[in-house]
Structure 1
Amino acid sequence: MPRRRAAPPRFPRRLPRGPQLWDREKSRWSEENTDGVFACELIESYLRLTKGPARGTLVQLREWQADLICDILRLDAKGRRQYWTYLLLVPRKNSKSLLGAGLAIDGLFDEQGAEVYSCAAAKDQAKIIFGEVRAAVEMAPELDAKQGGLLKVYRDAIEYPATGSVYRALSSEAFTKEGLNPSRVLFDELHAQPNWELWNVMNQGSDTRQQPLVIGISTFGVKSDASGQDSVCYAQYQYAKKIIKGELEDLRYGARIYETNDRVRGFDYRDQQVWERANPSLGDFLDAEKMAAAMRKTPEGDFKTKRLNIWVSKATVWLPEGAWDRCAAPDTAIPDGVDVVLGFDGSYNNDCTGLTVVRIPETLRFDPDAAEYASLEDDQKQRLFKVRNAGLRLPHLDVVQLWERPADAGQDWTVPILEAEEAIREACRRWQVREIVVDPARWARTFQILDSEGLPVMAFPQSPERMVPATGRFYEGVMNQRFTHSGDPRLARHIGNAVTKPTTRGPMVFKDSKSSPRKIDLAVASIIALHVACSPPEGPPEPQFFSWDDL
């Protein structure tokens, strides 16, 4: 009887990386020790790149990618699937989407009646995941049933009719997942899961499956969730590290963790040699120059967490020293009658309330965050921005009014509500106001009144879903000097008081503590106003027509 070929170690001391292509003949992996060989051949034979200049070409797996897939689908001595749970932590831009799509499609061929699910924290993210898998199937004639292939693609599902297998995307916001019988589950961006509910349900729902597999794929993120407990991702990270170090034994749990050691002497997160440890594709399809560009326009904490896989739990200073002052244009004014957006943030008592104004550029020729530019590289975006916005007046930010508790006022001081309401009306008489962007918390009645008067009130709750992209746009605008401000010292003080803290969606601005006397209301009002001012206005809804048969 031929001797069974030994598989590579479960936890190699040095994780594979680099641009070398996978060569099955030179690998220690075989059908005897992994189901990953089939998965790799499936991916390289049928899956095509869905983004970038190489869109439409067949995937060529790197050695580290194939080794990872083979490890995930490793077999034990009895020929059964080794792992029931697997944790993959790797920074952004290292082909997590490609690997996830390949493993999802492979899962459809895993067994009769397979149920494959990809899970995300939010509905929008779940749609993106499903869209990636659907695009991969539709670009492969051998897979897409409409082109004679094996898999049927529906609006919200992909089916393999020959075995009754199905793939769907779920989110934490979706309906209850009780009753599912998953055979393979892929958690996309596990760090964003708001709590343990979905993770627990999907791990406990496959008890009747012979080879269940739950894969958590993520970057690093926050250490604790909203309840103060260890987040799902951080808890899995700690558990995996104990297994890797030999402190625990769990033969059914596997992991690959690409991370940066920031505790060594002389550590500098800006050093490109530091980036190599956490990014297996650096120097290949992850270009070091583009990563350097990302570092320059990304807050330090966010860059460390998402691009270097370093856990960041404490608040960090928001803007680098001098960056805000470089955007000052004190001689610039916002003339009466021009198009503007107002930003309002505040509370009622023992705090302060701020009203800001942002002038809208006459013509917004190029929005670097627009969907049509999403596939462009950073340097291409920079060139287009300079060319298309040449000669345009940049957005300009100023303070309309600030109501802040005086130092000698007592604890019973309150914001003068009627005065704040009249200041908003006066601003609407002075300028052509497109939107009054407000967080309705505590001020709902005021803005119901203003809305009933016909003023353009726009609710902007300070949720991570809204504030994270708005904060990112403001930060990038400061770092690239894409807007100017009046140099108002009150605004500068509030900007300087703001710190960033990680959330499940990314960094947001906060006070350094809930009880801190250092206010940031003008900073928040500026962030939301600039975000709306630099976003193209929503057009009227397109008319829809229906045939009589559909009515």
Structure 2
Amino acid sequence: MAADFAPGVDKVRCSKSGIFMADAYEAFLTTHVRHTDNEFFGAPFRLEPWQRDMFWRPLFAQGRMVGKGDLKRFKRSKSIVVFGEPRDGGKSDLACGTLLTIVNMEPTHAGEYGIIAANKTQAGKAFGKLKSMIRQDPELRALWEIRKDAIVNRETGAQMMVMPYSEEAMQSWHFNVCILDEAHVYRDRSLYEAVTSGQGQIFNALTIIITTAAKARSGFLWDVLPELRDDPHAHVAWLGARDDEDIDDEAVWRRVHPMSWHSVENVRKERRNKSRASFERYILNRFPLEKSADRSMKMSDIRACQRLGNGFDPSRRFCLAVDGATSGDAFAIVAHQLNDGVDCWAEWVFDEPGESGYYPLGQIEQLIAELCQRYKCPVGIDPARLLLMAQHLQDDYGVEIYEVPQSNKVMCPACALVVQTVRSHTCALEGCPKLADHLSNCRDLEREPFGSRFTCERHGRGTERIDAAVAAAMARWMTATMPESLSFAETGGVWRV
């Protein structure tokens, strides 16, 4: 799990020349860009104080003049800007207005400017906003040619595009400015890295992330925010509730919604109509402290277990279990050991397949064989899922496989054992971040008359994975059902199963 992220605004250091540039850019925005929605249609785009202080000046006023004579120009000190705001905070209009301002104030021959939307529908809406803003201003209308899939500058050949999420499509573009809209839906870092890696040699290249909070404290956005907060070339401004704040505190509502078009009464209505989780995420722009009610375990219990010292000792009896797939899902090897009444764990989790899209099964088999040969631990596998691996381990390495079928009869009580130890805070997850993350993703799947077992919304790469949790349940079931034996030290390293 990533380090916790706290909302707030990074410290801003504006220079005199930077303030001049920010004011000039704002003058362009107010003069040439107009709103496109509802009762605000046709109104000049005037920044509100919170937008100016949290986003506009941090973006445009931080930097210095470089070069001499005719080559003198302003260089921004921030190449990545993150602006997190609640739903209905005007994100789309701000994104389109900012892009139009930069592309006109910084004319570049054959420049490439883009907005990456979450899907085709959102891309169509953002493209429509750009077209509407251009058509409302005669100077912009004369300068820009609106085509089917791009908007092209008639003088410089620069083009603005709005694209749906696509990692592969980004590889061929080198954006002067790219706005990542609603980055909370991104599956992983691939698109973000494709965009930023193509900007390295471009002067004043800029990546802007405008988004709301994600549905869970995991994934690309949650992982990247602490990194960017520590990056001197990035600015992070997040308008949202802190973890220690009550979601029913109206003072918090006022601080999170400084927009002139919002009122406390609007937020009060949202509180009545939305679930706690939806209100917390969409209206207060906070990554939910708890995942949805159908999760098998609470995040508070998992965090408590992460603080419990993990006394896993490989010289004592332990069981090893394997779960995963050759591609898509993660591939997890988890060891379980009961140590003075505490469930202790060790993990080896593979969640980044090679370029072919498959995991290095040969290396994984060697790792399992080495662990088995060194510690004489039983290896639990469901042959119905990993038949070839089980055969290779038996035939090539002499590993004795302990069959753990992933049937309801086995997995329901196995999962219940893990849930029980997490809820009782006797599950030592220190040093096992992947296992903790996968446990937090588990949902209950009822399988009468056996009880419930772990499941997730859907399988495959980029989804909420539970492979380590399944392997942990298998290993915990092995510990509970296999006969007691002497420790490895007492048997001289021989353990008969």
Q: TM-score normalised to the size of structure 2?
A: 0.53
Give the letter aligned to residue 73 of structure 1.
Answer: F
* SS at 2:266 equivalent: helix
Q: What is the aligned partner in structure 1 of residue 241 from structure 2?
A: 260
Matched, 1:189 2:182: yes
> Match for residue 303 of structure 1?
279
* Contact map agreement 2:111 2:176 (CA 8 A) in 1: yes
**Structure 1 pair 34–252 and aligned structure 2 pair: CA distance change class (3 A):** farther
Which one-letter code corresponds to 1:295 in the other structure?
Answer: R
Equivalent residue for 1:200?
193
CA contact (8 A) 1:121 1:194 kept: no
The answer to whether structure 1 residue 169 and structure 2 residue 162 are counterparts is yes
- CA distance in 2: counterparts of 1:31 and 1:39, whole angstroms: 12
- Contact persistence 1:72–1:86 (CA under 8 A): yes
The answer to whether residue 76 in structure 2 is matched with residue 81 in structure 1 is yes
C-alpha distance in structure 2 between counterparts of 1:511 and 1:184, whole Å: 39
Distance change >3 Å, CA 515–CA 271, structure 1 → 2: same
Residue type matched to 2:116 in 1? C
Question: Which residue of the partner structure matches residue 135 of structure 2?
Answer: 138
Decide which of 96, 104, 110 is 2:99's aligned counterpart.
104
Q: Is the 8 A contact 1:39 1:69 kept in 2?
A: no
- Is 1:58 the counterpart of 2:44? The answer is yes
Q: How many Å apart are 1:70 and its aligned residue? A: 2.1
Structure 2 CA distance for aligned equivalents of residues 69 and 273 of structure 1: 25
2:24 equivalent among 38, 48, 54:
38
Deviation at 1:52, TM superposition (A): 2.1
> Which letter maps to 2:33?
L
More helix by share: 2
Residues 34 and 516 of structure 1, relative CA distance in 2, 3 Å threshold = farther
Distance 1:38 1:152, change over 3 A: farther
Opposite residue 291 of structure 2, the aligned amino acid is: A
Aligned counterparts, 1:481-500, within 5 A:
none
How big is the shift at 1:66?
A: 2.5
3-state SS of 2:169 partner: coil
Contact 1:94 1:280 in 2 (8 A): no
d(CA) in 2 for partners of 1:181, 1:240 = 21
Aligned AA (2:87) = R
Q: How many corresponding residue pairs?
A: 290
What runs of 5+ residues in structure 1 fail to find an aligned partner?
1-9, 14-27, 225-229, 244-249, 319-409, 413-509, 525-551
Aligned twin of 1:287: 263
Q: Match of 2:58?
A: 71
Mapped pair 1:90 → 2:85: yes
Residue type at the aligned position of 2:140: L
Match status 1:275 vs 2:253: yes
Paired residue type of 1:211: N
Question: Aligned equivalents of 2:46 and 2:196: distance in 1?
Answer: 32
Residues 243 and 289 in structure 2, CA contact (< 8 A), matched pair in contact too = no
CA deviation vs aligned residue, 1:482-528 (integer Å, no higher than 9, x gap): xxxxxxxxxxxxxxxxxxxxxxxxxxxx9942467679xxxx9xxxx
What TM-score comes out, normalization by structure 1 length?
Answer: 0.48
**Residue 401 of structure 1 corresponds to which residue in structure 2?**
none
Aligned in 2, Cα 1:72/1:516: closer, same or farther, shift over 3 Å? farther
Instruction: Note the C-alpha offset of 1:45.
Output: 0.4
Could you tell me whether the CA contact under 8 Å between 2:30 and 2:44 is conserved in 1?
yes
Q: Residue 140 of structure 2 aligns to a residue in which SS? A: coil
Question: 1:104 touches 1:133 (CA, 8 Å); kept in 2?
Answer: no
Instruction: Tell me the residue number matched to 2:225.
Output: 237
Change (3 A) 1:12 1:411: closer
- Does the 8 Å contact 1:87/1:236 carry over to 2? no
Q: 1:33 to 1:49 in 2, by over 3 A?
A: closer
Letter of the 1:87 counterpart: V
Judging changes above 3 Å, is the alpha-carbon distance between structure 1 residues 516 and 261 closer, same or farther for their aligned structure 2 residues? farther
Is 1:513 equivalent to 2:438 in the alignment?
no
- Segment drifting more, 67-76 vs 182-191: 67-76
Which amino acid is the alignment partner of residue 46 of structure 1? H
AA partner of residue 116 (structure 1): Y
Q: Secondary structure at the match of 2:87?
A: coil
Deviation at 1:199, TM superposition (A): 0.8
CA contact (8 A) 2:280 2:288 kept: yes
User: 1:223–1:512: structure 2 CA closer, same or farther, 3 Å change rule?
Assistant: closer
Percent of matched pairs sharing the same residue: 18
